[in-house]
Amino acid sequence: MTRLRTAIPGPKSLELQARRKDAVAAGVGSTLPVYIDSADDGLLIDVDGNQLVDLGSGIAVTNVGNPAPAVAEAVHAQIDRFSHTCFMITPYEGYLEVCEELNALTPGSHPKKSVLFNSGAEAVENAVKIARHVTGRQAVVVFDHGYHGRTNLTMALTAKNMPYKHRFGPFAPEVYRVPASYPLHDGLTGAEAARKAIAAIEKQVGGDNTAAVVIEPIQGEGGFIAPAEGFLPAIAEWCRERGVLFVADEIQTGFCRTGSWFASDHEGVVPDLITTAKGIAGGLPLAAVTGRAEIMDAVHVGGLGGTYGGNPVACAAALGAIRTMRERDLNAQARRIEETVVSRLKAVAEKTDIIAEIRGRGAMLAIEFTERTPDVAARVAKACHDQGVVVLTCGTYGNVIRLLPPLVIPDDLLAEGLDVLEGALLA
């Protein structure tokens, strides 16, 4: 492809990679050690002048572009005024505006309030803090294949051992894992899968002991698994009956990624609490917990917060990002990407028997391979990387390729990326 000037990684990237080995802890990996110099909507330009087609958005972060003009402008304007005060010391308006947007955009028309943090894991931890405080119960229920972060509590909530949990224990107590809905493998309807999960909770934990069920409406790192229709509403209904808080972890699915503002919207599920991060601020670190006003207000003053949570520059970026989502109708854009990608990949799937399923929603799409080992996914990903297309893998078995293009990716660039992926799948 003419976008590449050197082999991938090029000589300058290799030089930086050698320097990195002396400076950066080995425990931080990089999918593709190509060092980036600049970016454009859907393109990453590396230090050797290679242009890579970005089908990963830095893990569903740069949904609005990289950077979106409205984000860059807002960040410049804010950093020139002030960079930080700490909202817990002397507050500022941007934090309020982000909370107002979140309260309006998240599912449900009931009164809501929000609190801001720095990372997804921090938001999930705080959702659990709030749920335990308000219910006076301790148990937290999560699902097979779930991913919620890398801090101690969120490692406990996360299903997969390697690489997230291996030798990092002991983990936080009072976390219980139950079966999820995985239509390709369990063959269950949503109602059947929910009955199985609920029976496990009632038998092994007890509804009365459960503070919260924490669930990704479409599982991300676990394999881009969309539950069978009816699964989420049935779990939410059981939570309501048993006084358990339904916490939707929309950190990867949020902000237009699945073709609606939040993936919960798809089946009209209204969570008690919702965690957001990744796509919220066009690349700046920001996260939030949003929920029913009476729940969010139950915690004593000073019980929630942090030095940087809701940093003014990150808040300005979020407001620019949300404005871009509205102005460019990125929900419609995500649905268009789904049509393009799914029809192409389904045609490819007919020509090969390595593919078990093409699935996903909006611009959160995946290919699961028949083989339950990482080998095929790794081979396909590497072939794409060698040709300058950034794709990511995921899945409990590592046998899934996931596509998370920026929602503003130009059609011709998406087509170019898919040409390469198709070639790799059929090779």
Ligand X SMILES: *Cc1c(COP(=O)(O)O)cnc(C)c1O
Binding site residues, ligand X, CB under 6 A: 119-121, 124, 147-149, 216, 220, 249, 251-252, 277-278
The residue among 247 and 345 lying less far from ligand X, judged by its C-beta, is 247
Phi/psi at 274 (nearest 5 deg)? -135, 135
Nearest Cα to 68, choosing from 423, 340, 408? 408
Return the beta strands (E) in 62-157 as ranges. 112-117, 139-143
Instruction: Give the residues across from 219 on adjacent strands.
Output: 225
The residue among 134 and 263 lying less far from ligand X, judged by its C-beta, is 263
Nearest Cα to 318, choosing from 101, 105, 138, 109? 101
The residue among 39 and 124 lying less far from ligand X, judged by its C-beta, is 124
Q: Yes or no: say if 223 and 211 are a contact pair by the CB < 8 Å rule.
A: no
The residue among 9 and 222 lying less far from ligand X, judged by its C-beta, is 222
Q: Is 419 exposed, middle or buried (0-12, 13-18, 19+ CB in 10 A)?
A: middle
For residue 64, the minimal CB distance to ligand X (Å) is: 17
CA of residue 204 relative to chain centroid, distance: 29
Phi/psi at 300 (nearest 5 deg)? -60, 155
Instruction: Give the residues across from 357 on adjacent strands.
Output: 368
For residue 31, the minimal CB distance to ligand X (Å) is: 14
For residue 73, the minimal CB distance to ligand X (Å) is: 24
For residue 147, the minimal CB distance to ligand X (Å) is: 5
Residues 331, 314: Cα–Cα separation, whole Å: 22
The residue among 204 and 307 lying less far from ligand X, judged by its C-beta, is 307
For residue 221, the minimal CB distance to ligand X (Å) is: 6
The residue among 135 and 253 lying less far from ligand X, judged by its C-beta, is 253
Looking at beta carbons, which residue is closest to ligand X? 120
For residue 10, the minimal CB distance to ligand X (Å) is: 28
Q: Yes or no: say if 98 and 310 are a contact pair by the CB < 8 Å rule.
A: yes
Q: Yes or no: say if 224 and 145 are a contact pair by the CB < 8 Å rule.
A: no
For residue 148, the minimal CB distance to ligand X (Å) is: 5
Phi/psi at 365 (nearest 5 deg)? -125, 155
Q: Is 117 helix (H, G, I), strand (E, B) or coil?
A: strand
For residue 276, the minimal CB distance to ligand X (Å) is: 10
Q: In degrees, to the nearest 5, what angle opens at C-alpha 418 toward C-alphas 415 and 423? A: 130
Omega of the bond prior to 9 within 30 degrees of 0, cis? yes
Reading the block at residue 412, the tokens are 């011709």
**For tokens 């859907």, what's the residue?**
42
Element (H, E) at 358: strand 355-361
For residue 15, the minimal CB distance to ligand X (Å) is: 29
